[in-house]
Amino acid sequence: MIVALVAVSLWLRDAKSADHRVGQRVRLQSDSPLPRLPRVSLGGEFREAWFLKAGDILRFAVTVPGEEPVLRLREGFLTGLPDMAVTLVTPNGRRRELFSGPASEGHWGEHRLAVSARPGEAVDLEIAVLDGRGRPGLGALYVADVVLESQGRPVDEDEVAIVTRAVLTDVLSEYSGVARRAPATEESRRVDLPGPMCVPLAPDETIRLSYDGAHDGADARLELVLFAARDAGVQTDPERSADDGPGEVQVLSGADVVRRVPLDFAAGGSHEVSLSLDLPLRARRAPELGFRRVGGAGLFVGLREAVVTGPRRVARRPFVPGESRNVLLVSVGSLRPDRLGCYGYPGAATPNLDATAARGLRYTSTWAPSSWALPNVASLLTGTSPITHGLGLGAYRRLSPRLITLARAAAWSGRSTAAFSSSPEVSRRMGLDQGYETFAMRYLPAPVLVERAIDWLVEMEPFEWFLTLHLNDPGYPHDPEYVDVVAVNGVLDPVLVERVRRLDSRPGLAEALAQEMGPLYDAEIAGVDRALGRLLGWLQQRGLLDDTLVVVVGSHGVEFFEHGGRTHGQTLFDEVLHVPLLIAGPGVPPDGPVGGVIEAPTELIDVSRLIAERMGLQLAGSHQGHLPAPWGSALDRPTIWPAVLFPFEGIVDRQLEAVRSERWLWLSDTQSGARSLFDREADPEVRQDLLSVPEPGPEALNAAARLALEFEQWYGAAWLSAAPRAVVLEDEG
């Protein structure tokens, strides 16, 4: 019998009693051949649960983790009126009944049962389903969240320190040689700028870098980013280059080669690769590292980044009602503001989002820097533009450890951190887990993902926390719950039907697509709202909501054939960049009326600036956002809002640029050279391209030229501050 034990070695408060402390918590798994259902709803709460028919027995083999063990579980049923019995079986076969009684009908009943066993004792726990008379019969039961806890002393902050990675040493800062700009890349060439700053590696040359490694522990890692590009200024020997091969960079510790990185780059292109490796023991004893280039004729090769990272321990901040501040950041993909009740949509079923807007601030003009989740969430978490952080500008690039995310700043401030994502674009592989103690990406609907988050909050309740949810439910295809389908207005939008019919007049097609983009899409949003209501209700019941800054924002919008498309990540029109933003919590709004409406334009990077400012988080000066209204000064806010879209294998096949101002929208397709200009005041639906007419007027030409120049100035500034954004070669972490 195999038991997977996930031990959380924290001294945490029990969910039921304020004076109960948990020494260890072990989530139990069983190898009993009983179905495990990923999503079971009872009373509106979703949980992963075992399904037991009357007569079934669910067994767990477990070693008691500590003193005063307590078994916790949730159970419930829909039909059959079953009873449940929980039994402890000791190694000598003695059976002790821990519970026997009726199960909970229509909701999740929670049990906390004392287990009479000694620490370290191996026992079996059995959960049986009976028919109400103590015998197998009719009925079935769901069992979820089976956890074995041991009680312990009160919380000791020294033993529950947050451990998150930090840059311990910038190895390149100790280099005494000359760094130089690399040859121009495709991105920098766009605004006539050179490539990134690097420490160059000449052919057959070895450079040595020393650093102060006294504070590096056994968990120290070397994070490298290498840059290589074809260099027209490099003269090569034809006879030698024929045998030179693609070449490689060798990472040395003393005289030992600890890693070889091939330089296999296409002619005319440039490439950055990253690798992460355990710092060699020899380098820890004598902190000197070497980098040797072998071969690679005709290439410029340089070190873009070389940093040593390691664990950073920070004491957790105990939660003090009325004084502490928690953060709940919720980003929702494919979420249009015009489909929420608080933005005036009559067919919405969004009471919880509307209530959040009513007790805080609702922003009517919030703009994303791109039209899909990866670059936008990276901007939200770092407060930098896609040109600066680099995610979304090419396949499988990884966030630089030099960029301080909101999660890392929150962890360093002593807050527990967790992220739960249902979007595959928000993943560990891209480095978006930086700073999170708990990071889970699961293809689960919002109500199920929220239950996972609540389980985490139960454990973190004694401390201040920073919780992030990335929800992908409104994205296509739609598979809403029945309860959400019946909650929305199922009437088709005649404007949408006619819009689709103009594109394709086949019988029934317009109605089918309008159903998918109307009631089914609305039902997915209703499911997100219901999940958020469950989470906010839990916080309210625990007395935590008044001390929690709640931020709900769309990570991007979605097209409904306004400009001929039915997706996102392919254009930069308003429908994919305009997102909702709701903020509520302590100090929001600072002076204005409840339910305040902010019409001043805002960007996603402003949202991270706001969270950092309100929560006292330090982002190490890398932040590019502006403090939004009503906090920031109107004089400090930008007058244009740029956006970019770069090709990304399997997702995006175009490179587009856009600039918005209060009046104009300028679009550029860098591959075809086509440019467009729209007057958003005179043409709110953005239909008439003022540059497509035979003789554009002088006002339009001047506006287009001005916006193009402002875009290049913004792009150049963002490029010059760009962090390494390397393709992931290998990550051993």
Confidence at 576, pLDDT banded by 50, 70, 90? very high
In a domain, 217, yes or no: yes
Examine the domain organization and report whether 593 and 462 are in the same domain: yes
pLDDT for 160: 66
CA angle, 227 then 426 then 643, to 5° = 70
pLDDT given at position 138: 67
Type of residue found at 310? G
320 in any annotated domain? no
Instruction: At 709, list the tokens.
Output: 């120049």
Shared domain check, 522 and 660: yes
Q: What is the pLDDT of residues 540-556, one digit of tens each?
A: 999 999 999 999 999 99
**Left (φ > 0), alpha (ψ -120 to 50) or beta: where does 486 sit?**
alpha
Mark whether 484 and 546 lie in a shared domain.
yes
**150 lies in the same domain as 41:** yes
Domain count, the chain: 3
Of the two residues 19 and 113, the one the predictor is more confident about is 113
Q: Supply the pLDDT for residue 3.
A: 32
Mean per-residue pLDDT over the chain, rounded: 84
705: pLDDT strictly greater than 60: yes
Mean pLDDT of the 484-509 span: 82
In a domain, 621, yes or no: yes
Q: What is the 3-state secondary structure (H, E, C) of 206-266?
A: EEEEECCCCCCCCCCEEEEEEEEEECCCCCCCHHHHHHHCCCEEEEEECCEEEEEEECCCC
| Confidence at 209, pLDDT banded by 50, 70, 90 | confident
The CATH number for 712's domain is 3.40.720.10
CA-based end-to-end distance of the chain: 31
Choose among 527, 409, 525, 524: nearest CA to 468: 409
Among the ranges given (209-218, 598-607, 652-661), the one the predictor scored with the smallest mean pLDDT: 209-218
Report how far residue 9's alpha carbon sits from residue 270's, in angstroms, rounded to the nearest whole number. 46
Residues 249 and 386 in one domain: no
Q: Which of 154, 186, 216 is the last residue of a domain?
A: 154
- Nearest 5°: phi and psi at 531? -65, -40
Check residue 211 and give left, alpha or beta (phi > 0: left; psi -120 to 50: alpha): beta
At 18, is the pLDDT very low, low, confident or very high (cuts 50, 70, 90)? very low
pLDDT average, residue stretch 161-174: 82
pTM attached to this predicted model: 0.80
Residue 714 clears pLDDT 90, i.e. is over it: yes
- The answer to whether residue 407 scores a pLDDT higher than 90 is yes
Which of 159-173, 331-345, 426-440, 514-528 is predicted with the least confidence, judged by mean pLDDT? 159-173
Whether residue 603 lies inside any domain: the answer is yes
Residue 256 forms part of a structural domain: yes
Q: In this model, does residue 592 exceed pLDDT 70? A: no
Q: Are residues 311 and 352 in the same domain?
A: no
Using the predicted structure, report yes or no on whether residue 659 has a pLDDT greater than 80.
yes
Domain end, chosen from 138, 154, 170, is at 154
Residue type, 391: L
Task: Express each pLDDT in 602-640 by its tens digit.
Answer: 999 999 999 998 888 877 556 788 888 888 877 778 889
The percent of residues above 70 in pLDDT, for the chain, comes to 87
Task: Convert the pLDDT of each residue in 4-13 to its tens digit.
Answer: 332 333 323 3
Residues 367, 442 share a domain: yes
Q: Angle between the 521-541 and 351-358 helix axes, to the nearest 10 degrees?
A: 60
**In the listed set 130, 154, 178, which residue is the last one of a domain according to the structure?**
154
Range of the domain at 450: 326-729
